[in-house]
Structure 1
Amino acid sequence: MRKNRLVKMTVAIVALAALVTGGYLYKDAIQSRIARTVAVVSGQEIKPLLDSESRYIRQIVAKDNSTSRTIMWQSDSSEADAIIEYRLVGSDDIKTLSATDTAFTDDGSTTYIHEGTITDLTPDTKYEYRVGYSTDRRSDWYPLETAGAGEYEVLIYPDSQSGDYSGWEQIVKNSADRNPNVALYISMGDLVDNGEQAYQWRTWLDSIKPLSARIPLAPTLGNHEMYTLDWKMREPRAYLSYFR
């Protein structure tokens, strides 16, 4: 009983502190901090990831989508022990794959990109995966279904480049709601308006959340991914880093 009261008091203090001292925090960030605090105070063996440790979890198409899949995500700090865990749906046999921990700096902003490709999967089979660090921090489980020989649905998006991505975000949400069985989505270049502008990439990656963790993305390169802040051309560094 005393422990339950302690947990409730701690959650209330964390929530109040977040609201008072960190009004800039997104709702997801506040919720993730509360969840981590509850896990620590209650002595849970596995702690949920903070929002800052699990940004933009996404599946990227692999060379053969029927037997492999690339998983990527980002964190605000270096995490040398990044891993991906996966298993058949309904199985307790968890397999582990080491992921990269690569710093990427652009437009004065640094993020750490984690990536790994799961291989030797069985075609037309339902798996699930999660990401995390060391032995005690993990994300939620997300679905991963390998491609089969039958017909499948694909969502294809044209240019999403914009100065305001709220319209694009609504298009993604609505199309994902209308097509719950989609197997793949394609973004046909010019994802962002300026390829060097970090906030545009953050906004774009955040906007694909209705699809990104559960459906593989096939992104293609547009000329806008190669613009610098002063609208000159360069190598598409951000595009190549975020969709390696």
Structure 2
Amino acid sequence: MNKSKLLKTIVAIAALAVLVTGGYVYKDAIHSRIARTAAVVSGQEIKPLLDSEGRYIRQIVAQDNSTSRTIMWQSDSSEADAVIEYRLVGADSTQTISATDKAFTDDGSTTYIHEGTVTGLTPNTKYEYRVGYGNDRRSDWYSLETAGASVYDVLIYPDSQSGDYSAWEEIVKDSAHRNPRTALYISMGDLVDNGEQAYQWRTWLNSIRPLSA
């Protein structure tokens, strides 16, 4: 069997294994496992993150949004070698900073929060960043544009609390699509209906992904 056929076979088996052993698994989680398996089999130097390794990747407004930006994400397991890589859009050279690895337990569920602040950036400049671990696991690249002196748009959302966040997610996606140049978003009021239930936070964080990363 040649390498191409072997790769397809292993990917198919991996997908089936996830479906059989995992019960109900989110589509993104299945795709991430298939992508990791394909990368390993094909001998890629950089492996994509599993869904469980790169949850809720998000940018957070820093003290000076024109020269710095805080990046945060979560993983299901401790990752002591968490890093953030960034570069100018189109550049070959990258810079890397270390990120935290702090356990956070809520509603009996423990995840690990990774956070780092990129500093020394040039105002009104387009960068891109990705997160990962060690030298061989990385997320996709995401855009990061520093603030300038010009007027900019902000999306402001009222209370999003609900028992079903599907309608809220549609609002987020639609508003992001109609306002592609928005510099940041602000969520006001109650974010979730019951702040003591971890699944509501997970659902809310997933729904805001079109904007947060």
SS at match of 2:93: coil
Pair 1:164 & 2:164 matched? yes
Quote the residue 1:120 is aligned against. 120
Please report how far the alpha carbon of residue 181 of structure 1 lies from its aligned counterpart in structure 2 after TM superposition: 1.0
Quote the residue 1:241 is aligned against. none
Stretches of structure 1 lacking an aligned partner (at least 5 in a row): 214-244
TM (normalized to structure 1)? 0.86
Question: Could you tell me which amino acid in structure 2 is paired with residue 5 of structure 1?
Answer: K
Deviations 1:95-142 (A, max 9, x none): 001000000001111010000000110000000000000010000100
Quote the residue 1:25 is aligned against. 25
Which structure 2 residues correspond to residues 114-153 of structure 1 after superposition, within 5 A? Answer: 114-153=114-153
Quote the residue 1:52 is aligned against. 52
Quote the residue 2:181 is aligned against. 181
Quote the residue 1:5 is aligned against. 5
Question: Could you tell me which amino acid in structure 2 is paired with residue 151 of structure 1?
Answer: V
SS at match of 1:4: helix
Quote the residue 2:201 is aligned against. 201
> Cα RMSD between the aligned structures?
0.9
Aligned partners of 1:189, 1:134: CA distance in 2, in Å? 38
Aligned partners of 1:144, 1:41: CA distance in 2, in Å? 32
Q: Report the number of matched residues.
A: 213
Aligned partners of 1:118, 1:191: CA distance in 2, in Å? 27
Question: Could you tell me which amino acid in structure 2 is paired with residue 55 of structure 1?
Answer: R
Please report how far the alpha carbon of residue 38 of structure 1 lies from its aligned counterpart in structure 2 after TM superposition: 0.5
Please report how far the alpha carbon of residue 23 of structure 1 lies from its aligned counterpart in structure 2 after TM superposition: 3.0
Aligned partners of 1:74, 1:18: CA distance in 2, in Å? 21
Deviations 1:59-115 (A, max 9, x none): 010011100000000000000000000000111110001000000001111010000
SS at match of 2:182: coil
Stretches of structure 2 lacking an aligned partner (at least 5 in a row): none
Please report how far the alpha carbon of residue 189 of structure 1 lies from its aligned counterpart in structure 2 after TM superposition: 2.6
Question: Could you tell me which amino acid in structure 1 is paired with residue 120 of structure 2?
Answer: D
Q: 42-51 or 192-201: which moved more? A: 192-201
Aligned partners of 1:206, 1:12: CA distance in 2, in Å? 27
Which structure 2 residues correspond to residues 27-46 of structure 1 after superposition, within 5 A? Answer: 27-46=27-46
Instruction: Quote the sequence identity (%).
Output: 83
Runs of 4+ in structure 1 off by over 3 angstroms are none
TM (normalized to structure 2)? 0.98
Please report how far the alpha carbon of residue 20 of structure 1 lies from its aligned counterpart in structure 2 after TM superposition: 2.1
Aligned partners of 2:184, 2:209: CA distance in 1, in Å? 14
